[in-house]
Amino acid sequence: MSIRERLSGNEAIATAMRQINPDVFAMFPITPSTEIPQYFAQYVADGKVDTEFICVESEHSSLSACLGAEAAGCRAVTATSSAGLSYMNEVLYVAGSSRLPVVLAVACRALTGPININHDYSDSMAERDSGFIQLYGENNQEVYDNYLMAHRIAEHPSVRLPLMVCEDGFITSHAIENIELEEDDKVKAFVGEYHPENYLLKTENPLAVGPYGVSGYYMEARVAQAQAMKNAKQVILDVAADFEKTFGRKYGFFEEYRMDDAEIAMVIMGSSAGTAKAAVDELRESGVKAGLVKIRVFRPFPGEELAKVLAGCKAVAVMDKSEGFSACGGPLFAETAGACINLEKRPKMVDIVFGLGGRDFTVAAAKHVYERLQGIAETGEVGEVYTHMGQREA
C-alpha cells in the first residue's frame, strides 16, 4: 500500500535511492542538488543503507568514480546541477560510449553567465547529445516515480546506457508536496538487483572498458550506442507498464492533456506544464479547443509518437526553457519541428523561449500564448517563428 507523505523533490529522490540501496554514491555538492547527498549521507550514518559513500573533489571526479564502480559491476549513482553537470561533460560522453548505466539525478539550474542559481534547462539541454537517457518530472511524485524506473531502464540488456532523472531546481527540488511513497520491499522487488553480464572483476571473461577507438571501429561503436538509444524507447514503455501494474500510476513518453479535439496546443516540459494546464482548463470553459503535450522523455526523443498527436492541430507553440543560441529556436523546438517535417498536414509552429534563470511563468502568460495560437489558426499567418517571452523590455 502506498504511503502518504510530504516531501521535497530532493528528499523524494534521496528516498528512492535509499530504497534501492545502490552499491556506490560518489558525491560533490552544488546548489540546488546538494540536499540529495546530504539526505543520503544521513541514511549512511544511520545504517539504513550499506552503500559506499564517497566524497570526492569535483563533479568530474564524482561521475568518474561512478563509472569506475559501474565498470567493476556495481550499481552507482550521483547527483548534480548546472556548472557541475557541465564540469562532468567529458565523463558524460565516456559513460554513454562505455555503456555504463549510472543513474544521475539532476536538479536543473541555469548555466553561467551571468551567474544564476535558479531554474531553467540550460544545463541538461547542453548535455542532450551526450548519450544519456533523459527523463523529466512535472512534480515531486513524477520525479520519485521516474527514479524508481530509472535503473531498470538503464540496466536493461538491450539498452545499457546512463540515465538522467531531471527535476526543476528549487521549484520541485525544494518545494514540499504531497506524495505517495511505495513500501521499501516493494520498491526493491520492482527495481531488482543489478546483475551485469560483463564487468572488470569477472575473471572468467577479461575485458577492457573505454579503449581507444581506432577509425576502423569507432563508427561501429557509435552505431551500436545509437541503436541502444532506439531500443530504450520500448524498454521505457515496458517498464512504465510494469510500474502501472505494480503501483497504479501511469506514464508514457509524454502526457496528452485535453488533446482529443485540440486545435491549438502547447508542447512543454517540467513544472511549467502544471501552470499551462490551468490555462487550458480556463480556455476550455470559454469554448477554446486548447490542449497540451508535456514531454517526459526527451532522450530518446519520441518524435514519431509526438508527430501523430500534433498532426490534428492547426497551430502549436513549443515552449523552450533554455536558449539554444541557434538564431532559429531552442532545442525542444528543433526536435519537435523535425519530428513533424514529414507530416502530410503539418500544424503551423512557433518557438517561444521563456522562464530563463527562474523568470516567472504564469497562467496569464500561458493564456497569452494560446491567444497568439488562435490568431495563427484563424489567419494562417505565423509571423516571427522564434521569440522570447517574459523579458522586461517586452
Model confidence over 350-393: pLDDT tens digits? 999 999 999 999 999 999 999 999 999 999 999 999 999 999 98
Tell me if 62 sits within 8 A of 78, measured CB to CB.
yes
List of residues 6+ apart from 265 with CB closer than 8 A: 259, 290, 291, 292, 293, 310, 313, 315, 316, 317, 347, 373
Question: pLDDT by residue (tens digit) across 252-276?
Answer: 999 999 999 999 999 999 999 999 9
Cα-based angle 99, 133, 264 (whole degrees, multiple of 5): 160
Place of cell 496569464: 364
| Same domain, yes or no: 354 and 206 | no
In this structure, the chain runs to a length of 394
Main-chain dihedrals φ then ψ at residue 7, nearest 5 degrees: -140, 155
- Give the pLDDT of residue 393: 82
Radius of gyration of the chain, Cα coordinates, nearest whole angstrom: 21
| Same domain, yes or no: 216 and 264 | no
Which residues are 212's β-sheet partners? none
- pTM summary value: 0.97
- Which of 230, 247, 264 terminates a domain? The answer is 247
Strand pairing of 297-299 and 133-136?
antiparallel
| Same domain, yes or no: 151 and 217 | yes
Q: Closest Cα to residue 153, out of 60, 58, 233?
A: 233
Domain of residue 151, residue span = 3-247
344 falls in which pLDDT band (50, 70, 90)?
A: very high
Quote the number of domains for the chain: 2
Residue 91 has pLDDT above 80, yes or no: yes
Tell me if 79 sits within 8 A of 28, measured CB to CB.
no
DSSP per-residue codes, 11-34: HHHHHHHHHH--SEEEE---TTTT
| Same domain, yes or no: 69 and 114 | yes
- Does 331 map to a domain? yes
303 falls in which pLDDT band (50, 70, 90)?
A: very high
Quick one: average pLDDT of 33-58? Answer: 98
Rounded percentage of the chain residues whose pLDDT exceeds 90: 97
